[in-house]
Structures are given as C-alpha cells and as structure tokens.
C-alpha cells in the first residue's frame, strides 16, 4: 500500500512541476481627445446618411485597427459625461465609420429625417479609443 501511495504522490508532484507558465503582454490602448470637432456639414443625398457629417483626421488610425483592433468613439454631452457612439442624444442619432487615417461622424434625427433648427449638431468634444 505504501508503494502505491508513493507512486501516486510522485506522479502528482511530477505533473505539478512540469507546468509551464506563459505571460501574455498586450500593448496599451491609445486615446485621442478632440476638444471640438469640425463643424457638421449637410450630407443630404451623399451615401446612406440623411443629415449632417463631419470628418476627423486621425493619423493613429492605421490598417492594423481595420484588421485586428477596435475603435471606440465617445461623445461628450457638455455636462462632463461621455456616451459611446452609436447613440441618440437630444433626438439626434449619432454614428461613426472609419478608414485608415480618417473618422467620420454622422448625425440625423432619430426618425431618419433631416435635423433642422435646434437639432442641427454643434461642434462636439469627441474621445477616440484605439484598442489593439
């Protein structure tokens, strides 16, 4: 019986000491904050948006993020809180699209109509997070 228990203990000790630990390190995410976006311009009839659009130059946005990473965009709604896009704020629906070096933010009424009057989006504070 002692030999059997010794054999089991040795097997457990051998199995426990033969494990190899692997450490995976990842690159930190990059954050870009635009204090004010360029003014929104009327994009009616251009593409799928029936509203306004603005373009941001983001040189950090490389092909890597199209293939492997993630792009997160947040809108500062003037009271210090950030809301992630796509989002509806004040009756206006905001969404974003991107390509290498550029980020596009579109705005239209939540019902799909063209924003008018007070619903025309003003320049906004935007936070962009690039996750590798």
Q: pLDDT tens across 98-110, in order?
A: 999 999 988 888 8
Domain range summary for the chain, segments of one domain joined by +: 25-131
By the 8 A CB rule, do 62 and 105 touch? no
Give the pLDDT confidence score for residue 46 in this predicted structure: 60
Task: Read off the pLDDT band of 60 (50, 70, 90).
Answer: confident
Least confident residue range of 1-5, 88-92, 110-114: 1-5
With a cut of 90, say whether residue 73 has pLDDT above it. Answer: yes
Is the confidence at residue 18, as pLDDT, over 70? no
Above 90 in pLDDT, residue 16?
no
């Amino acid at each position: 019986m002692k030999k059997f228990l010794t054999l089991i203990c040795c097997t457990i000790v051998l199995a426990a000491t033969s494990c190899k630990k692997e450490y995976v390190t990842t690159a930190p995410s990059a954050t870009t904050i635009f204090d004010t976006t360029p003014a929104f311009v009327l994009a009616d009839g251009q593409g799928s948006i029936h509203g306004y659009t603005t373009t941001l130059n983001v040189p950090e946005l490389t092909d890597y993020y199209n293939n492997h990473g993630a792009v997160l965009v947040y809108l500062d709604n003037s009271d210090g809180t950030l809301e992630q896009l796509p989002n509806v704020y004040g009756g206006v629906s905001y969404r974003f699209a991107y390509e290498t070096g550029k980020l596009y933010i579109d705005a239209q009424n939540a019902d799909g109509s063209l924003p008018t009057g007070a619903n025309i989006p003003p320049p906004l504070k935007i936070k962009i997070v690039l996750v590798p």
